[in-house]
Amino acid sequence: MSPALPPPHPPAAPGVRAEVVVDLAAVRHNVRLLRAAAGSAALMTVVKADAYGHGLLAVAAAAREAGAAWLGVATVEEALALRAAGDDGPLLCWLAAPGQDYDGAVAAGVDVTAYTPAEVREVAAAARRTGVPARLQLKVDTGLSRGGATLPEWDALVAAAREARGAGEVVVTGTWSHLAAADEPDHPATGSQQGVFAAALSRARVLGLAPGLRHLANSAGTLLHPDTRLDLVRCGVATYGRHPAPEVAGPDTGPDTGPGAGLVPVMTVQGRLALTKRIRAGASVSYGHTWTAERDTTVGLVPLGYADGVPRHASSPGAGGHPAEVWVAGRRRPVVGRVCMDQLVVDLGGEELPAGTPYELFGTGHDGAPTALDWARAAGTIDYEVLTRVGGAAGADGRLARRWVDTGWDRTSREDDA
Q: Any idea which residues carry the catalytic annotation? A: 48, 287
Please, which residue, 28 or 48, has the CB nearer to ligand PLP? 48
Can you tell me the distance from the alpha carbon of 141 to that of 157, in angstroms, rounded to the nearest whole number?
12
Q: Are strands 213-217 and 170-176 parallel, antiparallel or unpaired?
A: parallel
Please, which residue, 94 or 375, has the CB nearer to ligand PLP? 94
Residue spans of alpha helices (H) in 94-239: 103-107, 117-130, 151-166, 188-206, 219-224
**Residue 95 Cβ, how far from ligand PLP at the closest point, in Å?**
8
Peptide linkage before 317 cis (omega within 30 of 0): yes
Please, which residue, 100 or 218, has the CB nearer to ligand PLP? 218
**Residue 141 Cβ, how far from ligand PLP at the closest point, in Å?**
12
**What SS3 state is found at 175?**
strand
Please, which residue, 60 or 326, has the CB nearer to ligand PLP? 60
**Residue 247 Cβ, how far from ligand PLP at the closest point, in Å?**
14
Q: Are strands 284-285 and 70-75 parallel, antiparallel or unpaired?
A: unpaired
**Residue 146 Cβ, how far from ligand PLP at the closest point, in Å?**
9
CB proximity list for 186: less than 8 A, separation 6 or greater = none
What burial class does residue 289 get, using C-beta atoms within 10 Å of its C-beta: 0-12 exposed, 13-18 middle, 19+ buried? exposed
**Residue 3 Cβ, how far from ligand PLP at the closest point, in Å?**
20
Please, which residue, 197 or 409, has the CB nearer to ligand PLP? 197
Region of 392 on the Ramachandran plot (φ > 0 left; ψ -120 to 50 alpha; else beta): alpha
Q: What is the CA radius of gyration of the chain?
A: 23
Binding-site ranges for ligand PLP (CB under 6 A) = 46, 48, 94, 178, 218-220, 234-237, 244
**Residue 234 Cβ, how far from ligand PLP at the closest point, in Å?**
4
Is 146 flagged in the annotation as binding? yes
- The number of residues making up the chain comes to 418
Residue-wise burial string across 324-334, b where 16 or more C-beta atoms lie within 10 A, e elsewhere: bbbbbeeebbb
Q: By Cβ distance, which residue is nearest to ligand PLP?
A: 236
Q: What is the DSSP code string of 303-368?
A: ---GGGT--GGGSTT-GGG---EEEETTEEEEEES---SS-EEEE-TT----TT-EEEEESS-GGG
Q: Residue 224 corresponds to which amino acid?
A: L
Cα-Cα-Cα-Cα dihedral sign, residues 234, 240, 245, 248: positive
Please, which residue, 239 or 286, has the CB nearer to ligand PLP? 239
- How crowded is residue 134: how many other Cβ atoms within 10 Å of its Cβ? 30
Residues belonging to the binding site are 146, 341
Residues belonging to the binding site for substrate are 146, 341
